[in-house]
């Protein structure tokens, strides 16, 4: 413990870098808590090293608390916006364009099960389909095939 007190500034900077590394490399920047505390520890250690802050544990803890809150207030919204930049992308699949004959009549809003490639798909359509009609897959999502009659596919 005496060694920690003698090298408090350096210890805080190492702790800050370790917390930043854990947040970014292990947690994938999913939570910002360790990021804010890591930045605060790094800044506190630097201020102590430069002599701008007292070399005692109370100053270190007070600075950590204040700087963590300050970083959270200033950086929360920009970091949250940075995470939310991705837009959902329509899945491109080999199944799009696949044609088959429906085994039973299908009404819009209803579905039936179609087994293909070892998977039981729920088949949906925006149009009325009759049994035996040839359809083409126009959209694929998890466990779901959206189809349209072959002559109506554009």
pLDDT in tens, 58-97: 999 999 999 999 999 999 999 888 877 666 666 577 888 8
Can you give the pLDDT at residue 94?
82
> For residues 35, 37, 42 and 47, what is the CA-based torsion angle, rounded to 10 degrees?
140
The pTM of the full predicted model, rounded to 2 decimals, is 0.56
Mean pLDDT over each residue of the chain, to the nearest integer = 89
Sequence-separated contacts (24+) of 79-84 with Cβ below 8 Å: 79/32, 79/35, 83/29
134-147 pLDDT, tens digit per residue, is 999 999 988 899 99
Q: In this predicted structure, what is the pLDDT of residue 90?
A: 64
- Judged against a pLDDT cut of 80, whether residue 12 lies above it is answered with yes
Distance CA 43, CA 63 (A): 9
Locus of tokens 């959902």: 88
């Amino acid at each position: 413990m005496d060694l920690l007190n003698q090298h408090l500034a350096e210890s805080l900077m190492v702790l800050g870098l370790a917390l930043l590394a854990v947040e970014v490399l292990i947690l994938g920047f999913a939570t910002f808590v360790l990021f804010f505390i890591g930045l605060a520890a790094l800044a506190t250690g630097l201020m102590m090293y430069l002599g701008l802050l007292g070399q005692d544990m109370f100053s270190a803890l007070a600075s950590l608390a204040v700087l963590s809150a300050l970083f959270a207030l200033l950086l929360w919204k920009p970091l949250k916006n940075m995470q939310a930049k991705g837009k959902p992308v329509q899945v491109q699949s080999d199944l799009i364009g696949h044609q088959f004959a429906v085994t039973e009549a299908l009404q819009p809003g209803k579905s039936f099960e179609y087994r293909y490639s070892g998977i039981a798909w729920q088949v949906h359509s925006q149009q009325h389909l009759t049994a035996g009609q040839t359809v083409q897959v126009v959209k694929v999502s998890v466990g779901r095939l959206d189809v349209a009659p072959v002559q109506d596919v554009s």
